[in-house]
Amino acid sequence: MATMRHAFVLCALILTRVAAAAPADKTESPYFVVEGAAPGVESLPLDSTRVDVHIAGVISDVKVTQTYRNDGDRTISARYVFPASTRAAVYGMKMTIGDRVIVADVKERDQAKAEYDAAKAEGKTASLLEEDRPNVFTMSVANILPKDRIQVELDYTELLVPTDGVYEMVYPTVVGPRYVSDAATHADFAHAGYTHAGVAPKSSFDMHVSLAAGMAIQLVDSPSHKIATQLAANHQGATIDLDPSERTGGNRDFVLHYALAGKDLASGLMLYQGATENYFLAMIQPPARPAPDEIPPREYVFVVDVSGSMEGFPLATAKDLMHDLLGRLRPTDRFDVVLFSGATAVYATQSVPANADEIAKVAAFVDATRAGGGTELLAAVQTAMSLPKSADVSRSFVVITDGYIAEEPAVFDEIRAHLGEANVFSFGIGTSVNRHLMEGVAKAGQGEAFIVEGDKDAAVAAVKFRQYVESPVLTHVAVHWSGFDAYDVQPQTLPDVFASRPVLVFGKYKGAPHGTLELSGQTGRGQFRAVIDASKAVPEPGNHALEQLWARMKISELSDFYNDGANQAEVTKLGLQYHLLTKFTSFIAVQQIVRATPGGSTDVDQPLPMPAGVADSAVPDMGEGDEPPLPLVLLAGLLAIGFARRFA
């Protein structure tokens, strides 16, 4: 006991120094205030967002209409940061002023920005759409005159793929506050302002979905919003609208789930004959998940976010998730925990056995943790990857976070640098998580991404995770072509299959469709082989979205994981050729009429609603002050455990 008391005294002395030396949090998203503006007028130019979604089979076509208003007495220029699906192929934009419609052109990013700045300075009304991340866009609208109503529409398409027989359509509504570390690049969007937690969005939000399934619909629901659903007489179609009470629900992702009758619905080959090239999408159903007689010992390294943005519901849900995951490990398993905020702390220098004593210790340690500080995920991932691996085990890393960082590419690069050493899984917790980070981490680490939107989802996600890591559906996956002249195939390397969902292969083909496509791999029961007869597929004009979807997949492969602008020329070429928004191409629309006094507009940044469930502490200027890099209780617990082990 004396040794333990001495340990705690030493901990207190160390923590006093740590707290005094703690650097200021670098979350640079203060609440935006317009100097001299009338409250609620000049500072709120976005009036409404309406989303119209048409789903035909597995392809979703989305039109987003944003209406900007100016109820003040001065000309303003507005800037608004908003999210989109990580798989969206944005192919069109237009601006409407009164009865005049201006269709946007896609141009190289620097050229589009120069044209926008020139139009703004000349007093012309213009709109500019730029990509900050594959799922974060910035809309700028110049010279909104007093009493103006300006509509900006953007169009995108994406592929919807079922998991365990359930399709999911997600429309993100708000970009969460981003922690900006010294390593982050291209993070201008991270400086957007936020309203206080719990404040309803000032702009209205509406959603309409028309679903043409082609077969009987068994289920339609939304775990995120109240909806009104009307099924067609034959149950093969449906219309879905937001409940009127949800018109202020633009502070959390809209999520729609639906399921169809029958099995193996997504297997097959879709074809499209373009003007100069032909495109295909192969969707191949993997085998059913086997029930393995023997599961090898496994090692889990949990990387858990305890930063300020995790305060409240996210951290409470993370703790519940950890309890569930740890409590169900087998005695043959091993585990370790890395906690991070502005700094990183490790539970043990090497993973420990998953026995009752160790699980109880780490559970108490996690329960005592409170949120605070920045979000240095990259350093935490580097620490976790450097931990020594236990012998004769299969290792998995599990990253649990809301993903509110601005350094995604560096994290992806770090994970890919260790490809083959372990699979990496991600748990995104929150109502508006950074899905680009969550899905990118899983893609880079050939794992799976899980989104936990509420505390009730944690237990379900934990069950799915255990199923995935204990028994992969298919490993050593490969596609072979026989008589089918395919080229420019994406992705170039197929990862292991953990979920019960189709394997997707995009590409181009020459000549008439004939021959076969074969998917092969290894299951828990032996070799697996599935064959598609290409001669039975017919090119359909309705599959024209395959052209943009192939290009989006190619761009993703080239640019989702870069820090230095590698492949910039090729991405730019693809963006211009396929009329797509990319990191290096933007949409620009200019009304060639001088409507305002040249150089006379006031710049306004649209404050974003704080995502539902996220506290003001995610933005230090709005909270109760800065926290040290890790909560003091967290460090005290770690040091006390270390001393107890050392002197026991």
Q: Is the pLDDT of residue 641 over 70?
A: no
Query: Do 429 and 487 reside in the same domain of the chain?
Result: no
Q: Which residues pair with 37 in a beta bridge?
A: none
Predicted pLDDT of residue 413: 85
Predicted pLDDT of residue 381: 92
Give residue 564's pLDDT band: very low, low, confident or very high (50, 70, 90).
Answer: low
pLDDT tens, residue by residue, 140-163: 999 999 988 989 899 999 999 888
Q: Name the most confidently modeled range: 112-126, 281-295, 324-338, 434-448.
A: 112-126
| 421 within a domain of the structure (yes/no) | yes
Query: Do 315 and 351 reside in the same domain of the chain?
Result: yes
Predicted pLDDT of residue 18: 36
Q: Is the pLDDT of residue 595 over 60?
A: yes
Predicted pLDDT of residue 227: 95
Give residue 317's pLDDT band: very low, low, confident or very high (50, 70, 90).
Answer: confident
Q: Is the pLDDT of residue 384 over 60?
A: yes
Q: Is the pLDDT of residue 643 over 70?
A: no
Query: Do 454 and 515 reside in the same domain of the chain?
Result: no
Predicted pLDDT of residue 164: 81
| 209 within a domain of the structure (yes/no) | no
pLDDT tens, residue by residue, 51-66: 999 999 889 999 999 8
Distance, CA of 23 to CA of 373 (rounded, Å): 9
pLDDT tens, residue by residue, 485-508: 999 998 887 878 887 788 899 999
Predicted pLDDT of residue 24: 36
Q: Is the pLDDT of residue 125 over 90?
A: yes
Mean pLDDT of all residues in 509-529: 88
Q: What is the dihedral of CA 412, 414, 417, 420, to 10 degrees?
A: -70
Distance, CA of 117 to CA of 212 (rounded, Å): 42
**Domain CATH code at residue 530:** 2.60.40
Query: Do 438 and 493 reside in the same domain of the chain?
Result: no
Query: Do 523 and 418 reside in the same domain of the chain?
Result: no
CB 620 within 8 A of CB 308: yes
Distance, CA of 609 to CA of 249 (rounded, Å): 10
Query: Do 423 and 536 reside in the same domain of the chain?
Result: no
Mean residue pLDDT across the chain = 79
Which of 470, 493, 516 is at the close of a domain? 470
Mean pLDDT of all residues in 343-357: 89
- Residue 59 is encoded by which pair of tokens? 């392809």
| 391 within a domain of the structure (yes/no) | yes
Q: Is the pLDDT of residue 293 over 70?
A: no
CB 442 within 8 A of CB 416: no
| 49 within a domain of the structure (yes/no) | no
Residue 611: left (phi > 0), alpha (psi -120 to 50), or beta? beta
Query: Do 367 and 389 reside in the same domain of the chain?
Result: yes
Which of 517, 543, 569 is at the close of a domain? 543
Query: Do 427 and 459 reside in the same domain of the chain?
Result: yes
Q: Is the pLDDT of residue 246 over 80?
A: yes
Total tally of structural domains belonging to the chain:
2
Q: Is the pLDDT of residue 589 over 50?
A: yes
Query: Do 445 and 330 reside in the same domain of the chain?
Result: yes
Three-class SS of 500-549: CCCEEEEEEECCCCCCEEEEEEEECCEEEEEEEEHHHCCCCHHHCHHHHH
Residue 368's domain comprises 298-470
pLDDT tens, residue by residue, 249-291: 667 888 999 998 765 455 689 999 999 999 999 998 888 776 6
Q: Name the most confidently modeled range: 72-81, 423-432, 541-550.
A: 541-550
Query: Do 425 and 491 reside in the same domain of the chain?
Result: no
| 388 within a domain of the structure (yes/no) | yes
Predicted pLDDT of residue 525: 74
Q: Which amino acid is at 474?
A: L
Give residue 516's pLDDT band: very low, low, confident or very high (50, 70, 90).
Answer: very high
| 445 within a domain of the structure (yes/no) | yes
Residue 606 vs residue 270, higher pLDDT = 270
Which of 485, 518, 543 is at the close of a domain? 543
| 143 within a domain of the structure (yes/no) | no
The fraction of the chain above a pLDDT of 90, given in percent, is 33
Out of 28-32, 241-245, 396-400, 517-521, pick the least confident: 28-32
DSSP string, 359-418: HHHHHHHHHT----S---HHHHHHHHHHSPPPTT-EEEEEEEE---BS-HHHHHHHHHTT
Query: Do 394 and 513 reside in the same domain of the chain?
Result: no
**Domain CATH code at residue 308:** 3.40.50.410
Instruction: Give the largest Cα separation in the chain, rounded.
Output: 83
Q: Name the most confidently modeled range: 117-126, 206-215, 333-342.
A: 117-126
Query: Do 336 and 485 reside in the same domain of the chain?
Result: no
Three-class SS of 106-150: EEEHHHHHHHHHHHHHHCEEEEEEEEEECCEEEEEEEEECCCCEE
Predicted pLDDT of residue 102: 93
pTM of the model: 0.74
| 641 within a domain of the structure (yes/no) | no
